[in-house]
Amino acid sequence: MNPAHPTVLVVDDDPAVRASMERLIRSVGWKAESFASADAFLERLPLAGTCCLLLDVHMPGTTGTGLQDMMCALDGDLPVVFLTGQADVPTCAASMKKGAVDFLLKPVNDELLLDALRRGLERHAAQCAQAARRDGVQSRIDSLSPRERQVMDGVLCGRLNKQIAGDMEISEKTVKVHRARVMEKMGVRSVAELVNLCGAALVARASAAQHRETAPAG
């Protein structure tokens, strides 16, 4: 899968539906991959790039809602659009509560389906960009030496150089040297930028952790 191009992954046990969906998806310039079962899709993992899952509900073996639960546990960011010939209110409500982009009934209007898939792809692109930024910040933090990390933690807590020096039992001059290296490695010019950068990374990481903790076990 080319990560530079968005991909819609179709999971449906009906070969005619899979063929029809692939033609529609490719007609708007997206890539398409189709699978006859949830198990076949799971064998395809891992995924790369911007993706959206177009998923039937009633299939032999693992159902569409069962696969959604699995994907919530494995990759909570992967958007899901349901397209099914049979649906009930509880199933629809439950899938939407778990983060499905939309729940559509066959036969579906092409534009309605493409709009749902577009929203899913846009959501995943934004999530991937956020994850890349978060990983970039974490990579910078990981490049800090233990002493530099201590100094940064002090700065983030609003401690003055003199206070940090006392906490670490080193000279204030040494604190200034470490502080300058922290600013350079983190790619910021001010304490405000450092606070914003690290704060955004912590919020994003906490949000991702909470999503994993609340995701269904599958």
Domain 135-214 fold? Arc Repressor Mutant, subunit A (1.10.10)
- Coil, strand, or helix at residue 7? strand
DSSP code string of 180-198 = HHHHHHHT-SSHHHHHHHH
CATH match for 7-127 among 3.40.50.410, 3.40.50.2300, 3.40.50.2000, 1.10.3720.10: 3.40.50.2300
Tens digit of pLDDT at every position of the chain (218 positions): 444 589 999 999 999 999 999 999 999 999 999 999 999 999 999 998 999 999 999 999 999 999 999 998 886 789 999 999 887 888 899 999 999 999 999 899 999 999 999 999 999 999 998 888 888 998 999 999 999 999 999 999 999 999 999 999 999 999 999 999 999 999 999 999 999 888 766 644 544 444 444 444 43
The torsion of the CA quartet 133, 138, 139, 141, rounded to 10 degrees, works out to: 130
Alpha carbons within 13 A on the beta-carbon side of 102:
18
Q: Residue 65 burial (CB < 10 Å; 0-12/13-18/19+)?
A: buried
Per the structure block, which two tokens stand in for 205? 């990481």
Alpha carbon distance 211, 103 (integer Å): 21
Q: What's the pTM?
A: 0.74
**CA nearest to 80, candidates 39, 119, 106:** 119
Cα–Cα distances (Å) from 8 to 29, 61, 89, 105, in that order, read 11, 22, 25, 18
Q: Is the peptide bond before 146 cis (omega within 30 degrees of 0)?
A: no
For the chain, the domains span 7-127, 135-214
Handedness of CA 169, 174, 180, 185 (dihedral sign): negative
> What letter would DSSP give residue 56?
-
Whose structure tokens read 């604190």? Answer: 175
7-127 and 135-214 have identical folds: no
**CA nearest to 155, candidates 198, 191, 202:** 191
